[in-house]
Structure formats: structure tokens, C-alpha cells
Structure 1
């Protein structure tokens, strides 16, 4: 039986979280580390950056709840760094291992989030917003990045991502 969140506001977002937890691995299934760096002659973010950024942002969100876990590629992605020319990106297996570590930790934080925590205002340079909006944006961003990886799969001649 599925555990209910403390806040009713999080039901749908946790459903998305669970879908993304599975879809992340499905999107990366079978992609070689070599192809994960292929930008097909464009300036687009490659799969290795997209996957690493997804992983890092889950760690960042968990840290906003008080977790102290860090991704294995924290230095490469901290402070929301964009893609870096010439950087050595970790293997997709490394990202999958980090995803496996952070996902249950973050889900526990989401399930236990109180209304007060969700209403807490987060302060960043030149902007502020409630934690709930941060979580909402995170779920949107995860869907967006997983979709980009799914598109890269097809562009690199892999079969389409599986949703089951």
C-alpha cells in the first residue's frame, strides 16, 4: 500500500516523482557512455549532462529539506552549472547509482513535508518563492529533461524509451 503524504498538496507531485524515478532509468537504458556525450554537432546539452543535472537537482532539493547527501558528481554540477566544454562527465552507471541513492531519501522528505515546510520561503539571489513552488518546478523540470533524453535516444538511433 502506498504511503500518503502529510500534505494533500503533494499527492500529484509524488505520483510524478515516482514516474520520473522509473522513467530516468528507462530513458538511459542501453545508451553507451560514448553516445551519452554525443551532441550531434550542436550546442545542445548531451545526455550525460542532462542525466547528471537531473541527479544533482534531486540532491539539491533533498538538501533544502535538511539532507546532507551529495552526488558523486557534485563538483561538476553544484551551483546549477551548465554544460562545460572539455569536462569529463561520469558514466551513466554512476548517475544511476546516485539516482538510486537519492530517490528514496527525497521521497521520504516529500512524504513527511508539513504545510509549514511547503510554505517556507526560499531565498536566492534576485528571487524568492515557497518550497512548494520549488518542488512543483522540480517535477516539471524532471519531465522536461527526461523528454530531452528520450528525444536524444531516437536521434542517436536507439529504440524509443519504454514507459512500462
Structure 2
């Protein structure tokens, strides 16, 4: 990645984007499928749901840039719906493939984004914001979700997430 954006306000977002692109894969490293949908007798979102919601967020942003790729998340994350009890979520391998497919495409779109594009208004149910504001929120949310997966790793008995 490591290209220079035409927008000065994107520089911090791009650094986080690159880090989080790698960190999600590191957070998922070694997690067995049998554990990916484990909730440990709680109502907490499991690793599969957290992962799918992050991926769904990148696909949503990609659509804002005219990238119309489809992910394996299907209808499971439509309209930002929460976790569905007893749903069969895609495998972590499918999620990783989606992540690896959309991340470089969206990155290239971000590099090429004009100030005008970043200032476009996006309408969400009950709110309106600029595309840049949505990028900022998505970056924050990705970091939060990666942290949740890192915590699940420990709760499920896996070693801590490696940053190297």
C-alpha cells in the first residue's frame, strides 16, 4: 500500500487503515471455527459476528466509492442488524478472503479520493454525515472491534494477539 493521498486530511486515516487491515488478520490468526461463534453463555457478539460486521463496513464504504463487490456476509449484516441467534455465519476463511479482496480496492479509492468526494453527504437511518466523517467513524469502529476479537482470543484460551 503506502501511496500518498491527494487529500491531506486522509493521511491519519490511511495509516490506521493499513494497520487495521493487518491487525484484523492477526487477531483472527489460529482461531478455530468451533470457537468463532462461541458466546460463552453470554449475549456478547461472537468473533464471527464482530468480524463480519467490520467487513460489512468496508464493503459499505467501498460502495460509496463505486466499488460494487459482493461479500460472503450476505443478508446477515443488512441495515446494520445485530447478531442473530442461531444464524450460520460464514467461516473465518471466507471472511478473510472478503477482507483481502475489498481492502486493497478501497485503499486505492481512498488514495484517489478528492476533497469534493470526501465532503459528499451520506444518509444513514436517522442521521446524515460526510463520507470523511463516515471514514473516521469506521476507522474508530474497526479498532474497537479488533480489540474485542483480541479479548475473545484470551477468553477462549488462545495466546494474545501478535502485532509483529
Q: If the TM-score is normalised by the length of the shorter chain, which range does it land in?
A: over 0.9
Q: Equivalents in 2 of 1:4, 1:68: separation in Å?
A: 24
Higher deviation after alignment, 1-10 or 34-43: 1-10
1:14 deviates by 0.5
So what's the TM-score if we normalise by structure 1? Answer: 0.97
Q: Is 1:48 equivalent to 2:48 in the alignment? A: yes
Alignment of 1:1-150 (within 5 A): 2-150=2-150
- Please list the CA deviations of residues 25-69 of structure 1 after superposition, one character each: whole Å capped at 9, or x if unmatched: 000000011101111110000001001111111000100111111
Instruction: List, as ranges, runs of 4+ consecutive aligned residues in structure 1 with deviation greater than 2 Å.
Output: none
- CA distance in structure 2 between the partners assigned to 1:102 and 1:7 by the alignment: 21
Report the TM-score when normalising by structure 2: 0.97
Structure 1: tracts of 5 or more residues without a match: none
What displacement does 1:125 show? Answer: 2.6
Structure 2 unpaired stretches of 5+ = none
CA distance in structure 2 between the partners assigned to 1:148 and 1:126 by the alignment: 26
| C-alpha displacement of 1:76 | 1.4
Aligned length: 164
Cα separation, 2, equivalents of 1:78 and 1:101? 19
